[in-house]
A and B are shown apart, each in its own frame.
Chain A
């Protein structure tokens, strides 16, 4: 009783001190009883600090002129000079443009197709056919980027590939990969080829979760298949679609290095150079760490802002968000 009063006197309830004190007490108790859990956490937390959070802190060199002697903390501050240097270069706007166009195109062309595939598959009752289509369409997901790009290069090669003949028939340029205007189409459609089947899985799962009584009601109302898709399936998967859409929009500036870098050649560079590949070249090939970090940081910040903005808008409009 006196202990309780003492504690109350020391820190009135509801204040920050009281909260802190109670947290400390429960931590002590928890540590005594569950110390093993905290021991388990040591390695992963160390990993997160070393390989995730220290790199974030290393971003300060974007505001410094990094030199090996001074190291990260000893190099002189230069303010926003690195960013100014980047934007003073006319290439900067090409890079940003290329990055945006490539990912927006990828998003607009690639987003609806898995939804269509899932809706179509959902109508099919023939099990063998359904399973075959599923198994085959998500197989390319497991191919590596190197393999997919090599397949593209070989299949579209004017001398070897069968697609070159096929495209030639429609009057497309004979060597697609040497043509800067074709780079985006090649990039986006090979991506769609690789990922559609796998992306459809999540929509299939959402479709499987729709209440069967809705279809029963639609049947009684005499709805046809298209009407059922429009009035039951689509509203049913809308929350999933929104979440997937936010994630894709949030990644618009985070378009991957791996594939663009492999598809690049001196002939298509005017369209295929994106921020990620440029950062690699400036940072590791030209060893200008500060400039490369500044470009990378600019990219990450834009991306973070985009993600937060899309999430907020989506929450307002549809009530669905990531958190």
Chain B
């Protein structure tokens, strides 16, 4: 026991500090007075950051479980007041929300599959140095990041393809992200060893065979990152629906949410005769709606966050 302390003399001289001693990295130097004050400042700063982000989220969560009167009167802060599930009941009774939820799930699944396929189909050839015309093609992808056709010119294309007011308009335009293509191409180039390709060639494997049986299985983390980027993006966006869809049965959840939450349409239960009660329930329902529509993303969150972090890292490798 004493041996342990003597092997790390820098720890011995140090009084008990405000946080736990690191397990792997020994403290390098005793904290001076200035450093202690500085660290205290940093902890205060970070705690403030934490609270500023957390408090609104907790407030919404607490409100969603409170009674209509408490929410409407602004009496909820960080803990539910008069706990009920009436808000959630109201959400589940709303057919537009359920339709939107179903539509969004469909758009996320189909859209992600299409996007992922297109991305791999262009990124893999781009990652191969023996592809003739690679530079032109990369330039063609890069240029779309710098300059885009714009709202109306794109709308006209979608219109002339007859996609307006169809489900295709939700999953085809915008299916291919330039950023994702670059990330994927960089990843393929950096992480698939050339020896593997040579070996596959000697075994007589074709390019497609090599892509399918070697490259894709080796690129699972990348595919997860990209699928999640596309999936979360698809779940969260309302813009294509706003411009391309008229039929409310095709609306994704976000557009339904916008109508209820921002435009105040469809307020409250219709069976309530009392005007005040209807207003109160409408207020409460908004909070429950926010929670429910965020659940799919938040359920996947720990997983998603880890991979998104990786995605940012891959993206930061200049390629």
**A residues within 8 Å of B by Cβ?**
23, 26-27, 30-31, 34, 36-38, 40-41, 43-45, 47-48, 50-59, 61, 72, 116-117, 120-121, 123-127, 129, 132-133, 135-147, 149-151, 153-155, 159-165, 193, 196-198, 201-202, 205-206, 215-216, 219, 224-226, 240, 257-258, 262, 276, 279-280, 283-284, 289, 292-293, 296-297, 299-300, 304, 307
Contacts and interface: CB of A to CB of B under 8 A. Distances in A.
Contacts of B208: 36, 40
Contacts of B309: 201
Interface stretch (B91-99, B105-113, B117-125, B216-224): B117-125
Given A50-B157, A125-B25, A193-B53, A300 B150 contact: yes
A129 B29 contact: no
B38 A224 contact: yes
A107 to B, nearest CB: 18
Contacts of A117: 46, 49
Nearest to A153: B262
A289 B152 contact: yes
B39 A296 contact: no
Given A125-B25, A300-B147, A160 B156 contact: no
Contacts of B176: 44, 47-48, 51
Contacts of B237: 144, 258
A262 B242 CA distance: 12
Most buried by B among A44, A129, A138, A216: A44
Contact of A51 (B19, B35, B46, B154): B154
A24 to B, nearest CB: 9
B239 A258 contact: yes
A21 to B, nearest CB: 14
Contact of B313 (A45, A205, A224): A205
A37 B146 contact: no
Contacts of A58: 149, 152-154, 156-157
The 10 closest A-B pairs by CB, nearest first: A55-B149, A58-B153, A144-B236, A44-B122, A296-B150, A150-B261, A55-B153, A126-B19, A36-B207, A55-B154
B147 A120 contact: no
15 contacts: A48-B140, A50-B157, A56-B153, A59-B149, A59-B150, A120-B45, A139-B298, A142-B305, A146-B257, A147-B294, A151-B60, A153-B261, A154-B60, A201-B312, A300-B147
Nearest to B178: A52
B143 to A, nearest CB: 8
A289 B243 CA distance: 14
Interface of B: 19-20, 22, 25, 28-29, 32, 34-35, 38-39, 42-43, 45-46, 49-50, 52-54, 56-57, 59-60, 63, 71-74, 76-77, 118-119, 121-122, 124-125, 128, 130-133, 137, 140-141, 144, 146-157, 161, 172-176, 206-208, 211, 232, 235-239, 243, 254, 257-258, 261-262, 283, 286-287, 290, 293-294, 297-298, 301-302, 304-305, 308-309, 312-313, 316
Contact of A147 (B150, B207, B293, B313): B293
Contact of A142 (B119, B149, B238, B301): B301
A270 B249 CA distance: 34
A136 B151 contact: no
Given A41-B137, A51-B154, A120-B46, A34 B207 contact: yes
A57 B290 CA distance: 40
A106 to B, nearest CB: 17
